[in-house]
Structure 1
């Protein structure tokens, strides 16, 4: 097992630098962790989902997010390019096949990866699933707009792109309050002011870049088929996650574990279930896995 993580940057062909970390035990089952967002980042806390002795874990920050550079970059940043990044990293690390753990927005990237690279997959675990089909995005947008009690998401996005620094900070604070309200959470006003720095502004602008573009959902996505070796772990109190799960189940039978939880993937019950789910079929993956030649 790695006593300290390997860390680096992967250059894409179109100007992005993807920050990555490698944890766990090389030669065991490789798992790529796909964080939430868009505009989110990976964290060492995400290692709570894994038994480090059983998996070769790749954490990375998606385009424009976290420590990837340029931070908050909107150019060459869409769903398809994020999916291509996953496979570019797979080849960079020399893995023939990988497993995916996708949380929230990351669950949609995992589903998209299945459509493009089915032969490169071992298994997929989707947590607090999010599918940006039109009805779900409209409902999400309306809920957030009601919580904003003022400008809609598109107006916030315009301010974050064109407003002065003070206007951007206030718009970011308004957006954060709406997200917290949606998730039944709150934050001390002074802590919220401190949190809404320029890094947060860039992250929210990137999130809204995807939101106002309907997460680049296409007509082709309406007919997608989820890989058979997929398991969904979903909180029943997560309104948009449950809507996403119903959308998936209308298209095919899908294995799912429903928990009395919300959207927060760090809920104790969710973390415990994810750790158990990831080990399904682990007995067949004890041997060292082949690499790309």
Structure 2
């Protein structure tokens, strides 16, 4: 089963959530279908038209939005009043604005983190979850990404390029890049930052130079969030443990951004979850095997929540 054919939105625009933030919000598919909200990765990753294509447009009301400061939301790359609690509040604002009692939640990587944070606060609003490449944002998960004892051991050349491109000065890697993103060379530092993640995701990297708006958003917000431990008041596993919300977890065995121990740990604390291993699957939802697994997971979830 391939991705569903491209579809157009029937509604799109900006939605004010206060504090100066305007979120880009779109709806597509069947207005009377099963509501599903799609949470993009990052933080700061932004959404794309591909995210609509995991869902049968005849069966689902597909709600996609850019989180604060990401994608087409405004202000661009803003980190002011931008915390996980703010993002959870935004989700509730969107749900209430659309007049929905419950919705399915679909997210990967940071999108899975946000989905779990939302579940912890508003379990009665979640009909089911489809999660990919689970990121729990624990200290050990952040250390895997940004210390020499983690993924750097698997990709030493790329790690050295990330270190070499970092601004000089005191502090750890994240703090040095944070300072760099406040200088006129911000987009060059953003490109170097995003190339490291692309390497871990087994995706092509880009030549040294000035990064795009999307790269600037990703670098700025990831560093902002990870310097603050994801703005999580307590561990997600503890907060979500025992939830009976139907959950499908998709995990590639070649995901070097979010290693598989995180998906397994989540599966163990969610008694109504099913963990699907994807042989050869990497981190990206665009990986063919991962994309196929996600389409099938959505089909299974539709059946599970319709019983």
Assess same fold via TM > 0.5: yes
Equivalents in 1 of 2:221, 2:8: separation in Å? 34
Q: Could you say which residue in structure 2 is the equivalent of 1:257?
A: 276
User: Counterpart of 1:290?
Assistant: none
Query: For the structure 1 residues 276 and 197, does the alpha-carbon distance in structure 2 shift closer, same or farther, using more than 3 Å as the test?
Result: closer
- Aligned: 1:66 with 2:71: yes
- Within the alignment, does 1:280 sit opposite 2:285 as a pair? no
Choose which of 183, 189, 193 in structure 2 pairs with 1:171. Answer: 189
How far apart, in 1, do the equivalents of 2:161 and 2:230 lie?
21
- Aligned partner (choices 209, 213, 221) of residue 193 of structure 1: 209
Equivalent residues in 2 for 1:23-38, closer than 5 Å? 23-38=28-43
Shift of the alpha carbon at 1:233?
0.6
Structure 1 gaps of 5+ residues are: 287-293
CA distance change for structure 1 residues 123 and 160 in 2, over 3 Å: closer, same or farther? same
Are the aligned partners of 2:199 and 2:205 in contact in 1 as well (CA < 8 Å)? no
Going from structure 1 to structure 2, the CA distance change for 1:251 and 1:123 (only over 3 Å counts) comes to closer
Measured against aligned partners, the alpha-carbon deviations of 1:30-87 in whole angstroms (never above 9, x if no partner) come to: 0000011101111111122111111001000000000111111111101111111111
**1:14 and 2:19 correspond:** yes
Decide whether aligned partners of structure 1 residues 210 and 285 sit closer, same or farther in structure 2, where only a CA change above 3 A counts: closer
Answer yes or no: is 1:237 the counterpart of 2:258: no
Give the match for residue 268 of structure 1. Answer: 288
SS at match of 1:83: helix
The counterpart of 2:179, out of the listed 146, 153, 158, is 158
Secondary structure at the counterpart of residue 66 of structure 1: coil
Runs of 5+ consecutive residues of structure 2 not aligned to the other structure = 1-6, 153-158, 167-172
- Count residues in correspondence: 280
- Distance in 1 of aligned mates of 2:214 and 2:33: 35
TM-score normalised by the chain length of structure 2: 0.83
Greater shift, 255-264 or 137-146, is seen at: 137-146
Distance 1:93 1:108 in 2: 23
Give 1:174 shift: 1.9
Q: Find the aligned partners of 1:221 and 1:26 in 2 and give their Cα distance.
A: 33
Report SS of the residue matched to 2:82.
coil
Look up the SS of the partner of 2:197 in the other structure.
helix
- Preserved CA contact (<8 Å) 2:35 2:60: yes
CA contact (8 A) 2:264 2:275 kept: no
Q: Give distance in 2, aligned partners of 1:222 and 1:33.
A: 21
Q: Determine if contact 1:28/1:285 at 8 Å carries over to the other structure.
A: no
TM-score, normalising length from structure 1? 0.87
Secondary structure of the structure 2 residue equivalent to 1:11:
strand
Residue 43 of structure 1: which of 48, 53, 76 is its match? 48
Residue 184 (structure 1) aligns with: 202
Structure 1 segments, 4+ long, off by >6 Å, are: none
- RMSD over aligned Cα atoms: 2.3
Shift of 1:232: 0.4
